[in-house]
Structure 1
Amino acid sequence: MPSGLDNQLIAAAWKNDVPEAKRLIAAGADVNALDDTVQSAFLIAASEGYLDLLNVTLAHGADVRSLDSYHGTALIRAAERGHAAVVGRLLQAGVAVDHVNNLGWTALHEAVLLGKGTPQYVDTVRLLIAGGADRNKPAVNDGTTPVQAAKTRGQTAVSAALADGHQASGLQDGRAAADALLAAASSGDADKVAAALAAGAPIESRDDRRRTALLLASLNDRVDAARLLVQLGADPDAQDDRKDSAWLVTGVTGSVAMLETLLPANPDLTLRNRFGGISVIPASERGHVDYVRRVVKTKIDVNHVNDLGWTALLEAIILGKGTKPWQDIVQILVDAGADPSLADKDGVTPLRHAESSGYDEIARILRAAGAR
């Protein structure tokens, strides 16, 4: 029987109260303790899609082999509801991908039979395929395979993902699988990304320029492929032979969608490119207003100085065009705490650069921020 602390933890889990869950765990509550409905904090986090809570339970000894009242795993519970990010995390944690519950179904069966064919279920199916799920495994009761079930239910995108899953058997050579992964990530074919991973391609495979699949997806703004890779644990900080990383190139492309896709992977915001800069600097130089507006809301250092001796504010002025996008960026940076008095290596301040370039509106913004 669960203790009083265990019952409190289960109640906190239903509420997705992560701070309270952490407090109770520190006090001795067991993340694997089951109540009389065969629920634990770990199983609840999986079924409800509470990723932060799930990570807390995994960090404190969650038993990935634990089963619910249907003799199902946490993976089956998450797949049924299309909690793709949770599915990816559980696959990383080693939950058995083809476990069969007492309904005769695997996680892949439940994602199709009880799913809706919506994007979240498509992501879920891709993740399961990448994790090695058997797409042709018959259900115990009626013999229906996931492939057949998707086709019968008119789940076109799910069917396409399952169809591409058969390519895994044709990629016997490790290098061929890795090349297929890199090509699929670059082109944005998430179904083929899943198939290549299922064939054994290492998720951190690199091309001849040391670019990973996630870096190629980010560089080409392939959000679906990047999301799949992130959910399976791809490294956003892996750098190529030019010191670019998946995260750093978002500052070059200006893709807010890719930024949002990579943030759950906890990229290193201090990682430097070949110029010693962080992502906000090239974004400011290139006039990526929406990107700068979003990235300054992270913990990124808006006063970082690169190897040229320039901050994002200086690059926006020196290498920008002084027009509305760069005016907006200067205002955004100043509002986010950029120091308008930080001069370049020659002692020239942002205000002097703006004045010498005839950027009157930018000069006005800087003066209003107290620049001299």
Structure 2
Amino acid sequence: MRWIVWPLVGVLLLGLVVLSLQPGMDAVCVVQSVHDRLRHKHDGWSCVHYAAARGDMAALDASVEQTDTPIDARTESGATPLALAAERGQLAMVKQLLARGADINAADTRRRTPLYRAAAKGHPAVVRALIAGHATIDQPNESGQTPLWINAARSPTNNTEIAHSLVRAGAAIDRADTRGDTPLMAAARAGHSDVLAYLLNENADPARRNGQQATALLLAIRQGHTEAVRQLLARGADPNASVHATSPLAVAQRANRAKIVRLLRANGARE
């Protein structure tokens, strides 16, 4: 245990030294930043970033005043305080930062915006606040994945609240990423049946094919997502849309997906 205790003691002592020299500093930031540096985490974070991430407006104000850090200061990965607050679901902080003029579409080095981060982590209230602030709805990341796409792929709460907000704001239902995968395909691959059903109700195209010529149905079959297969077939997905001369039924049979095999046959699938 000593190898754990002594570094922690060192962190606390160093934090106390810094605070004695600058008593107005954010104590949580001082301790956390020293700890993170020892663990090589959160490179380039300032006290403004730590305060935004934990939703502490008073600490953020103090840090900005004492260090003259700009409201859109970036970490080494390019994240702004707004992006960190959005990713962690800090709604009050997000609203305050927007009111103070934070760049709502500031993208990091991987081109992820605050809206993308909030959608990826499943924070519907933050998503709505960013939409109300006129965030760019379909701004993609480096892989061409929009906020709707990443929510369909991850859907942390497996509900449609975020997808609904994005679509109502004008998100493109069938916008594909750099591999040709649409949000419907992302939901099918992940087995997120609620989001899948919502996208189908919003007329997402089940016949679309990605760069490997796979449909959403085939992606769901490969992953064994029976309910996703059921929903796609009910909305007109072609049970015979083969890929490289291999039928969906053959894929299901090879993977021993007995329930899916029965569903496909019931819907007219052929060998």
User: Is TM > 0.5 for Structure 1 vs Structure 2?
Assistant: yes
Provide the rounded CA distance (Å) in 2 between the counterparts of 1:295 and 1:225: 21
**Structure 2 residue 231 is the aligned partner of structure 1 residue 309:** no
**Structure 2 residue 77 is the aligned partner of structure 1 residue 173:** no
Structure 1: give runs of 5+ residues left out of the alignment. Answer: 1-160
Provide the rounded CA distance (Å) in 1 between the counterparts of 2:265 and 2:93: 53
CA radius of gyration, larger in: 1
After TM superposition, give the deviation of residue 263 of structure 1 in Å.
2.1
After TM superposition, give the deviation of residue 198 of structure 1 in Å.
1.8
Q: Which residue of 1 aligns with 2:256?
A: 358
CA deviation vs aligned residue, 1:37-92 (integer Å, no higher than 9, x gap):
xxxxxxxxxxxxxxxxxxxxxxxxxxxxxxxxxxxxxxxxxxxxxxxxxxxxxxxx
Provide the rounded CA distance (Å) in 1 between the counterparts of 2:237 and 2:90: 39
Q: Which residue of 2 aligns with 1:328?
A: 227
The 8 Å contact of residues 172 and 199 in structure 1, kept in 2 or not, is answered as: no
State the TM-score, normalizing by the size of structure 2. Answer: 0.69
The 8 Å contact of residues 149 and 186 in structure 2, kept in 1 or not, is answered as: no
The 8 Å contact of residues 71 and 81 in structure 2, kept in 1 or not, is answered as: no
Structure 2: give runs of 5+ residues left out of the alignment. Answer: 1-54
After TM superposition, give the deviation of residue 249 of structure 1 in Å.
0.3
Letter of the structure 2 residue corresponding to residue 241 of structure 1: E
CA deviation vs aligned residue, 1:105-140 (integer Å, no higher than 9, x gap):
xxxxxxxxxxxxxxxxxxxxxxxxxxxxxxxxxxxx
Provide the rounded CA distance (Å) in 2 between the counterparts of 1:183 and 1:226: 13
Provide the rounded CA distance (Å) in 2 between the counterparts of 1:174 and 1:201: 6
**Matched residue count:** 205
Provide the rounded CA distance (Å) in 1 between the counterparts of 2:82 and 2:61: 12
Letter of the structure 2 residue corresponding to residue 304 of structure 1: R
Letter of the structure 1 residue corresponding to residue 251 of structure 2: H
Provide the rounded CA distance (Å) in 1 between the counterparts of 2:173 and 2:61: 37
Q: Which residue of 2 aligns with 1:184?
A: 85
Q: Which residue of 1 aligns with 2:124?
A: 223
After TM superposition, give the deviation of residue 289 of structure 1 in Å.
1.8
State the TM-score, normalizing by the size of structure 1. Answer: 0.51
Q: Which residue of 2 aligns with 1:274?
A: 178
Query: Closer, same or farther in 2 for the Cα pair 1:228/1:167, shift >3 Å?
Result: farther
**Among the aligned pairs, what percent are the same residue?**
27
Provide the rounded CA distance (Å) in 1 between the counterparts of 2:177 and 2:250: 27
Structure 1 segments of 4 or more deviating over 6 A?
none
The 8 Å contact of residues 240 and 247 in structure 2, kept in 1 or not, is answered as: yes
How large is the Cα RMSD of the aligned pairs? 2.4
After TM superposition, give the deviation of residue 174 of structure 1 in Å.
5.0
Q: Which residue of 2 aligns with 1:96?
A: none
SS in 2 for 1:175: coil
After TM superposition, give the deviation of residue 340 of structure 1 in Å.
1.0
The 8 Å contact of residues 167 and 195 in structure 1, kept in 2 or not, is answered as: no
SS in 2 for 1:296: helix
After TM superposition, give the deviation of residue 172 of structure 1 in Å.
6.7
Letter of the structure 2 residue corresponding to residue 173 of structure 1: P
SS in 1 for 2:249: helix
After TM superposition, give the deviation of residue 274 of structure 1 in Å.
2.7
The 8 Å contact of residues 281 and 315 in structure 1, kept in 2 or not, is answered as: yes
Q: Which residue of 2 aligns with 1:73?
A: none
Q: Which residue of 1 aligns with 2:100?
A: 199
Q: Which residue of 1 aligns with 2:152?
A: 251
Q: Which residue of 2 aligns with 1:213?
A: 114
After TM superposition, give the deviation of residue 370 of structure 1 in Å.
1.5
After TM superposition, give the deviation of residue 167 of structure 1 in Å.
4.2
Q: Which residue of 2 aligns with 1:33?
A: none
Letter of the structure 2 residue corresponding to residue 283 of structure 1: A
Query: Closer, same or farther in 2 for the Cα pair 1:226/1:167, shift >3 Å?
Result: farther
After TM superposition, give the deviation of residue 358 of structure 1 in Å.
2.0
